A and B are shown apart, each in its own frame.
Chain A
């Protein structure tokens, strides 16, 4: 993929659940300090544990990892982690909007809801990535990103600690790119 092609992207969104923590950490570790885009993370996490996760993700990341507050502006070169017990949307004006609506797929944050909101906000300028996980959250959202012209990538299920999430995404929409973690990481590093 040439540099002019990748330059169209305005944001990356990654969803993951069980077995995705290691993958996310290794991706964050590999990204350069001047990574040019906002990277949104929607990971399933314990509802009642408010602190610790950001710190764990920050350990090896050269980019600041933040849990956004409601109405925060989305800025390039930052990693945003969906806060515990909230859904994370993207509102007009490139801002986060949080919600305490009902759980979707037994999850809050729900990857589907974040992906759908990001798909509508960024359209074809969005990259959506689904990683290892134990339920079907994210499959519908990733399909929405693809339908609105975004680039969609699924971690190779054979590499996943728990492949349910990635397999569901692929069976719902077989045209997603299925890539190894190495390939995903290289793709992101080269977004300059």
Chain B
């Protein structure tokens, strides 16, 4: 999708589109950041040739499969593997060793996976340090399409180079090509890495998450939410975390005034927190 190409809609039309999606598919986008989601829907309309909000709304009412295409285009990928290498180093050197030493089995949850880049990074980190058998991973996806691609090891080829560079900066034990190979211009990841992952369905609420979580990795997702939803999500995570459970958010995200009281800082610059 080209974000510079778009079919303009008014704010009222934007609200009507969200209402149509909510009525038909029970997915509520009302608490998403307007500037982000409106632009994204406008680019979606251009790419899929919807000339007006009305034609899009009509289509939403008629097409059962619409939501799959919509989610695939609208939800934002985590962009690359080992994004912010220093974050992954800190996880490997400090956070996970503590969790492994304190618990029989460490429960790690990624509440929203799209491309699986964060999930694969985590699984590589665990495998390289022989922690796989001491951990239990839950990964939630909003659409079966994402889960299938992650299970198959599908990887966007344009991310290969930057991910390999990130992995170098992460100081992993092997060469990145051990985990991801390019054949006939297609990049594919070693999907045995995610074999033990429990996939669950993400439905926009987080009440479905398991209890007693030791680590939640939720980086660069709060940026798409209004402050209201942002605070609600962080409150739910708080309830789902075990005592001394940790939360990781994106490096330019912040807890906000309300949620600050629920967590204390483990690492300020890598945005890692522990439950109060």
Interface positions of A (Cβ within 8 A of B):
47-48, 50, 67-71, 83, 85-86, 89-92, 97-102, 104, 110, 112-113, 116-117, 120-121, 140
Contact = CB atoms under 8 A, between A and B. Distances in A.
9 contacts: A68-B252, A69-B254, A71-B256, A91-B34, A98-B252, A98-B253, A101-B76, A104-B3, A112-B4
B11 to A, nearest CB: 10
Interface of B: 1-4, 33-36, 39-40, 76-79, 83-86, 162, 165-166, 169, 220, 222-224, 227, 230, 250-254, 256
B79 A104 contact: no
Given A69-B254, A100-B220, 13 more contacts: A47-B162, A48-B166, A71-B230, A85-B83, A89-B35, A92-B34, A97-B35, A98-B223, A100-B76, A100-B79, A112-B4, A117-B35, A140-B4
A89 B34 CA distance: 10
Nearest to A95: B227
A91 B252 contact: no
A87 to B, nearest CB: 9
Contacts, number: 76
Nearest to B1: A102
Contacts of B224: 99
B40 to A, nearest CB: 8
Contact of A50 (B1, B165, B251): B251
Contacts of A110: 3
B34 A69 contact: no
A140 B6 CA distance: 13
